[in-house]
Structure 1
Amino acid sequence: MHAKYEGLIARAKETPAATTVVVHPCDETSLRGAIDAAEAGIIVPILVGPSRKIRAVAQEHTLDVGRFEIVDVPHSEAAATRAVQLIHEAKGELLMKGSLHTDELMRAVTASATGLRTARRVSHVFVMDVPTYAQTLFITDAAINIFPDLDAKRDIIQNAIDLFTQVGLGEPRVAILSAVETVTSKIPSTIEAAALCKMAERGQITGAVLDGPLAFDNAIDPEAARIKGIHSPVAGRAQILVVPDLEAGNMLAKNLTFLSKADAAGIVLGARVPIILTSRADSVRTRLASCAVAVLLADARRRAAALPAE
């Protein structure tokens, strides 16, 4: 059970701990998550928020924050703004969401003048450890982009591919999901799936094998793919599931979490640094896995930056 996460966490422990700016860790769950990851040797947290509140939460729940740097700001909005500034000042390699709302953090991250935008669209990936599925399963995007267009989906896919490869999982098999596996004008997501596959053929998406449209069953079940007569390297063996929109992705991830007892680590990509996006309902293992994935990505970027220019 959950051996995939244990492997990611073990590998993260072998890399240098990443300095992580933790934004407004003002409840037990978020503060404990940062401390647990620090004690596991995965991150070195900088806690950004009202210092009196952080220390009060720590005292109430017997958590030791004495060894961590605390950057005092008056409230959650200021914490998000200051955290982004710290990244600009090269004080941290990762951001980690605390007890503020996701949209509050993302407003600071995506601010046009002061944020952490890159040329790539910002997107979210659930890294799923599903006990009944042999592969580590990525689902994207289920938290940031509500109704992404074709260009946004290209970036969403490329973000997920880059994460998969850079954390050392190899070349991924990407399934672009719809309700059916045939292209039909009545279901626009099937047309977009076909276009995205053609974009991959033309080098507009790189580093993976794509197939779509695929229905969920023939994306992850070899027998379902065989019955439908679908022959591809991806069908029945997908590792990245690209959903049509946020609603579909959110429902799929939560179905796996609550019906299949899967864990769902969360990370936001496409910004200048990876962003660890956790939920109050996450287990300790899931929070550690979210940190581990981000740390492995940061380490890959660190090593790539150290390579001599050709």
Structure 2
Amino acid sequence: MKAYRNLEGVAPGHHHTVGERHRQLIESTRTQAAIRTAVVHPCDPASLGGALAAWQEGLIDPVLVGPRERIETTARALDSSLDGIELIDTPHSHASADTAVALAASGSVTALMKGALHTDELMGAALSRDAGLRTERQMSHVYALDVPSYPLPLLITDAALHIAPDLVAKRDIVQNAIDLAHALGLERPRVALLSAVETVRANIPSTLDAAALCKMSERGQIHGGLLDGPLAIDNAVSREAARQKGIVSEVAGQADILVAPDLEAANMIAKLLIYLAGAQAAGLVVGAKVPIMLTSRADDIDTRLASAALALRLVHFQSRNERRP
């Protein structure tokens, strides 16, 4: 399968067009079947319009879950037809979340897409121990950013779920991101474990976690990626910064995955890249039985399509692995 294109070897000052990498991602899905997706409470133009666009692009086969009258009114406002699309009528957003999660747990759908409801409502339903979506691994969120000034794919985690993850949670956060990178065609993604400094210091807990995660990788407790840390963010993404600090590393200056020490740091990094560096964002919650697209009301159509393409790649990647003897 065509990989998420790697632009290694380009000049340090290279800039590519905004959205170029995400367009490549969407194009890479053309030979794959759309994934049956429960769209949860798509009762505003942004969420319903995004779901319909993903359907028209062949990325998802939508099952709309929400109040029928509100969804149909929204479709009329968009001048869009719902002909041929399954719609499950629910009375309110909590019921929409519970119904969609039950569809995913039963295998009736293979992905979830957030609509016009709060993230807490959807994730509360998904995280319930009785819902059936949990796996042996904790769920985490991964941003996939298309940064025009960065020549590599860039995944950032966890900016949405784990506020202050401990070492056990960080192990799952790292593994989830590596698995998503594999689904995107990155055979051995480079993982930078971030802190404020690049040396291990007893008084900075994130440096101790980074060192432990690297050793866990060496012992096979994390697999499929190349880890290094602690790394400050400058020497994680800039070869020149790494060179000036004398850091010899296969990860430094060319990270594919940035693992932040906590939710606040991850969220700030992602939002700064989006609003100051012109990055285009997509993202998924991974680690559940199905991927969950946590779109925001501020997300445009391109972001929603890229998130759907991420989910499609992950679903097909996991399906192939499950079939292997």
**Residue of structure 2 equivalent to 1:134:** 151
Q: Distance in 2 between matches of 1:211 and 1:161?
A: 13
Among candidates 204, 216, 222, match of residue 205 of structure 1:
222
Among candidates 93, 96, 104, match of residue 76 of structure 1:
93
**Residue of structure 2 equivalent to 1:14:** 31
Q: Offset of 1:216 from its aligned partner?
A: 0.4
- Which residues of 2 match residues 21-36 of structure 1 at below 5 A? 21-36=38-53
Q: Offset of 1:118 from its aligned partner?
A: 0.6
**Residue of structure 2 equivalent to 1:243:** 260
**Which secondary structure does the structure 1 equivalent of 2:318 belong to?**
helix
Deviates more, 1:298-307 or 1:190-199: 298-307
**Number of residues paired by the alignment?**
308
The amino acid that maps onto 2:263 is L
**Which secondary structure does the structure 1 equivalent of 2:28 belong to?**
helix
Output one character per residue of 1:190-233: Cα deviation in whole Å (capped at 9) or x when no partner: 11111111111111110010000000000000000000000010
Deviates more, 1:161-170 or 1:263-272: 161-170
Q: Residue 108 in 1 paired to residue 108 in 2? A: no
Alignment RMSD, CA only? 0.9
Q: Offset of 1:185 from its aligned partner?
A: 1.3
Output one character per residue of 1:269-288: Cα deviation in whole Å (capped at 9) or x when no partner: 01110111111111211111
- Which residues of 2 match residues 1-310 of structure 1 at below 5 A? 1=17, 2-307=19-324, 309=325
TM-score normalised to the size of structure 2? 0.93
Q: Distance in 1 between matches of 2:42 and 2:121?
A: 14
Output one character per residue of 1:255-308: Cα deviation in whole Å (capped at 9) or x when no partner: 00000000110100011101111111112111111000100111112222333x
Q: Offset of 1:170 from its aligned partner?
A: 2.2
**Residue of structure 1 equivalent to 2:3:** none
Unaligned runs of 5+ in 1: none
Q: Offset of 1:13 from its aligned partner?
A: 2.3
Q: Offset of 1:85 from its aligned partner?
A: 1.2
Provide the identity percentage: 55
8 Å CA contact 2:156, 2:270 repeated in 1:
yes
TM-score normalised to the size of structure 1? 0.98
8 Å CA contact 1:31, 1:98 repeated in 2:
yes
Q: Offset of 1:115 from its aligned partner?
A: 3.7
Unaligned runs of 5+ in 2: 1-16
The amino acid that maps onto 1:275 is I
8 Å CA contact 2:147, 2:154 repeated in 1:
yes
Q: Distance in 1 between matches of 2:179 and 2:105?
A: 23
8 Å CA contact 1:12, 1:293 repeated in 2:
no
The amino acid that maps onto 1:156 is I
Q: Distance in 1 between matches of 2:187 and 2:46?
A: 33
Q: Distance in 1 between matches of 2:141 and 2:30?
A: 24
Q: Offset of 1:73 from its aligned partner?
A: 0.5
Q: Which stretches of structure 1, 4 residues or longer, exceed 4 Å deviation after superposition?
A: none
Q: Distance in 2 between matches of 1:171 and 1:193?
A: 18
Output one character per residue of 1:132-165: Cα deviation in whole Å (capped at 9) or x when no partner: 0001100000000000000000000000001101
**Which secondary structure does the structure 1 equivalent of 2:131 belong to?**
coil
